[in-house]
Amino acid sequence: MLMNRINLLPENLINQIAAGEVIERPASVVKELVENSIDAGATRIEVQLSNECRNIRIADNGHGIHKDDIGLAFSRHATSKLIDENSLWELSTLGFRGEALASIISIAKVSCYSRTEDMDTGVKAECENSQISVTESGCAVGTVMEVNDIFYNVPARSKFLKKSQTEFSYVSEIVQNIALSHPQISFVLLNSGKSVLRTTGSGDLLTAITEVYSKDMANQLVEVYKEDKTEGLVVRGYASKPEFTRTSKKAIYLFVNNRAVKCPVLLKAVDTAYKDLIPSGKYPFCVLSLDIPPASLDVNVHPSKREVRYTKANQIFNLVIASIKSAVEDLGFVKFQPASTVAFNAYANDVYTAEETKKTSFMNKAIPSFKREYEVDDSAQTFSFVESVKSKQEYEDEQVTISFAPMPSVAVEQQVPRPKIVGQYFNTYILVEHNEGLQIIDQHIAHERTIYERLKDSKEFASQLLLSCVPVEVDDNQAELMLENAELLSRYGYKFEVMNSNRVILKQVPVILAGKNPESTVVELIKALEGSVEQIENEILITTSCHAAVKAGEKLSVWQMEEIIRDWQMTKNNGTCPHGRVIAKIIPLKEVASFFGRSV
Ligand code: ADP
Ligand code: MG
């Protein structure tokens, strides 16, 4: 066999091989070039695609490339960004490996026009097969990159491109992502001359979301902001109300120091925050931006720097959960003001005071206040829960929410408007005259959410002996499951005995379940225990709340309805039930009036 002699690979081939890593498709070119424009301090960036996504033109008003540097900019490992070895670990600029331009000119024909402020005329660099020729050319301050015939000389790659429509959808996803992470920059995206996206660069994230999506979408969002001063961490952005969900994870935008990242830990945090607010299989919309000190990050884990490793994964994980929770939990939550700042008559007809609330409440029992803390195991990039019992004060300080039970001993008088009950429909729905229209509330799930939130906040679960003990038939596995979890169940107020290995007799139940059917409670508890381990305690709470709540089909007095509605209005997360179903619907007065040909 003839032995092959060793040859140096031609430069263009070296670049093409490297390009395989950086440039997969037109969207990757767009990403690299737009990031370069951002790094150049541009405030306006225009992206145009044509010729079935094979031609890309990107124009920016950044600081431009100096004429003496332009040749260098297109060679490998040439960058103006990596100053010393330490900055490799930082994430303040988007690109720093100096590979993008060299890769792009190995797989496409590129013309680049650029001018810096101190140059009288601009320069033009024409590149083909990694050969660069530079001439003078008039142009504005900034840079225009024209990338034509992508993959013209790499047929294998070219063949793998999808339909131009699909390729464009990748491009548009990238531009959306970048536009949302840089609301201070104006972006324009055109496809074959048609404008597809336009942001004004107002600097306001909500405006950018409105421009990328719509006003309707922006109306579904709440602002998120939380910081951890000791670690120098900040989470900011917007997240959807629990009533608004999407069917895919696509609209969960996560940015670390203004860069889009793929990060299981952050995704898990978002998931955990919404866990008992939205149904499983549904996802929120959110745009969350994290500021993390560069020293706590390792960004070189992934070649295109989409993956980040943190040194403070736990703190970050918890901060993201807390930031979303405190934003969405504020919703629909009647905020109280102390009497000293608001003049009102405590016994006026339309107002309940805290004292009165305490006296009349038919559900005001207490339970262990466990505060969930989440821990991320960063080596495995998985996470686990740690539960610690914290004092109520600590819990409140951290969560910045107002809780109900027990009521403060020094009566801070709080005012809650008395709901105007219209009536009960079908013994299942409570109709309320709301200031925005006719509100229809599902009585069972509204009550369930109220009880669930109280149980979560309470200190100890008062338990009550059952007088009549009805045995419930279970199978061996189920009996075993009950026994295994006996201690846990007793913490939540349930005590039982197992007879002859297949009969369970409930001896004690939480006080709020007194008078409810113990048989169905056992069945539901078993279901809770059969679920995923991490969810068991939550499911026990949901089961307890579900059983304690009024049922659909149960006739209620006006007094009961008032109390259920008033308590529910004061409850956090009151938009959905613990399994994510929407609790209330409002039919706007306008709609009712216009049906009858009236105007309001
Ligand atoms: P990197 O971005 O990793 O430095 P690139 O190959 O993407 O590598 O770019 C090489 C260099 O070209 C950059 O460091 C920058 O100095 C210059 N450059 C590229 N695009 C622009 C632009 N739009 N405006 C100004 N300078 C640019
Ligand atoms: Mg770059």
Write out pLDDT tens, residues 117-166.
999 899 999 999 889 999 999 889 999 999 999 999 988 888 888 999 99
Residues near ion ligand 2 (CB < 5 Å) are: 36, 95, 100
Taking the CA atoms of residue 555, residue 561, residue 567 and residue 570 in that order, the dihedral angle to the nearest 10 degrees is 130
Q: Distance from the CA of 165 to the center of ligand 2, in angstroms?
A: 26
Q: Is this structure's pTM higher than 0.75?
A: no
Mean pLDDT for the stretch of residues 34-48 = 95
Q: Taking the CA atoms of the chain, what radius of gyration do you get in angstroms?
A: 31
pLDDT at 8: 64
Task: Give the chain's end-to-end CA distance (angstroms, integer).
Answer: 93
* pLDDT-based confidence at residue 20 (cuts at 50, 70, 90): low
The phi, psi pair for 456, rounded to 5°, reads -60, -35
The two structure tokens encoding residue 411: 């009566």
The two structure tokens encoding residue 403: 């809780």
pLDDT at 333 exceeding the cut of 50: no
The span from the CA of 167 to the CA of 158, in Å, is: 12
pLDDT in tens, 538-552: 889 999 999 999 999
Mean pLDDT for the stretch of residues 477-500 = 89
Sheet holding 420-425, edge to edge: 420-425, 429-434, 437-442, 584-588
Nearest CA to ligand 1 atom 16: 80
Q: Is the CB of 49 inside a 6 Å radius of any atom of ligand 1?
A: no
Sequence-distant contacts of 207-215: CB under 8 A, at least 24 apart:
207/183, 208/179, 208/180, 208/183, 209/180, 209/238, 209/287, 211/179, 212/176, 212/179, 212/180
Q: Distance from the CA of 34 to the center of ligand 2, in angstroms?
A: 8
Mean pLDDT for the stretch of residues 338-344 = 29
pLDDT at 228 exceeding the cut of 90: yes
Q: Which helix (H) or strand (E) holds 31?
A: helix 26-39
Q: Is the CB of 81 inside a 6 Å radius of any atom of ligand 1?
A: yes
The span from the CA of 265 to the CA of 381, in Å, is: 7
Decide: residue 533, CB within 10 A, 0-12 exposed, 13-18 middle, 19+ buried. exposed
Specify the DSSP class assigned to residue 502: T
**Closest by CA position to 42, among listed 25, 65, 15:** 65
Mean pLDDT of the chain: 80
Closest ligand 1 atom to Cα of 32: 7
Listed range (269-283, 308-322, 359-373) with the worst mean pLDDT: 359-373
Closest ligand 1 atom to Cα of 78: 10
Listed range (89-98, 185-194, 321-330, 342-351) with the worst mean pLDDT: 342-351
Percent helix / strand / coil, the chain, rounded to 5:
35, 25, 40
pLDDT at 21: 66
| CB within 8 Å of 458: residues ≥ 6 apart | 365, 366, 367, 368, 369, 405
Decide: residue 40, CB within 10 A, 0-12 exposed, 13-18 middle, 19+ buried. buried
Q: Which residue among 36, 61, 105 has the greatest number of ligand 1 atoms within 8 angstroms of its CB, and so is best to mutate?
A: 36
* pLDDT-based confidence at residue 510 (cuts at 50, 70, 90): confident
Listed range (228-237, 320-329, 433-442, 519-528) with the worst mean pLDDT: 519-528
pLDDT at 78: 67
| CB within 8 Å of 132: residues ≥ 6 apart | 71, 74, 105, 125, 126
Nearest CA to ligand 1 atom 17: 73
* pLDDT-based confidence at residue 307 (cuts at 50, 70, 90): low
Helix axes 26-39, 164-181, angle to 10 degrees: 20
pLDDT in tens, 417-436: 789 999 999 999 999 999 98
Listed range (187-196, 434-443, 521-530) with the worst mean pLDDT: 521-530
The two structure tokens encoding residue 297: 């990050």
pLDDT at 376: 47
Which SS3 state, helix, strand or coil, does residue 309 take? strand
Sequence-distant contacts of 247-254: CB under 8 A, at least 24 apart:
247/281, 247/282, 247/283, 248/283, 249/283, 250/173, 251/283, 251/284, 251/285, 251/286, 252/283, 252/284, 252/285, 252/286, 253/177, 253/180, 253/181, 253/286, 253/287, 253/288, 254/288, 254/290
Nearest CA to ligand 1 atom 20: 36
The phi, psi pair for 510, rounded to 5°, reads -55, 145
**Closest by CA position to 36, among listed 12, 57, 62:** 62
* pLDDT-based confidence at residue 415 (cuts at 50, 70, 90): low
Which SS3 state, helix, strand or coil, does residue 445 take? helix
pLDDT in tens, 539-592: 899 999 999 999 999 999 888 899 899 999 999 999 999 989 999 999 999 999
Nearest CA to ligand 1 atom 19: 36
Q: Distance from the CA of 143 to the center of ligand 2, in angstroms?
A: 13
Which of the given ranges, 272-276, 385-389, 507-511, has the highest pLDDT on average? 272-276
Strands (E), 199-315: 221-228, 233-240, 252-256, 259-260, 286-291, 297-298, 309-310
* pLDDT-based confidence at residue 383 (cuts at 50, 70, 90): very low
Higher-pLDDT residue of 355, 515: 515
pLDDT at 546: 92
The span from the CA of 561 to the CA of 570, in Å, is: 14
pLDDT at 89: 42
pLDDT at 208 exceeding the cut of 70: yes
pLDDT at 29: 95
**Closest by CA position to 88, among listed 246, 294, 234, 342:** 294
Nearest CA to ligand 1 atom 26: 65
Q: How many residues does the chain have?
A: 600
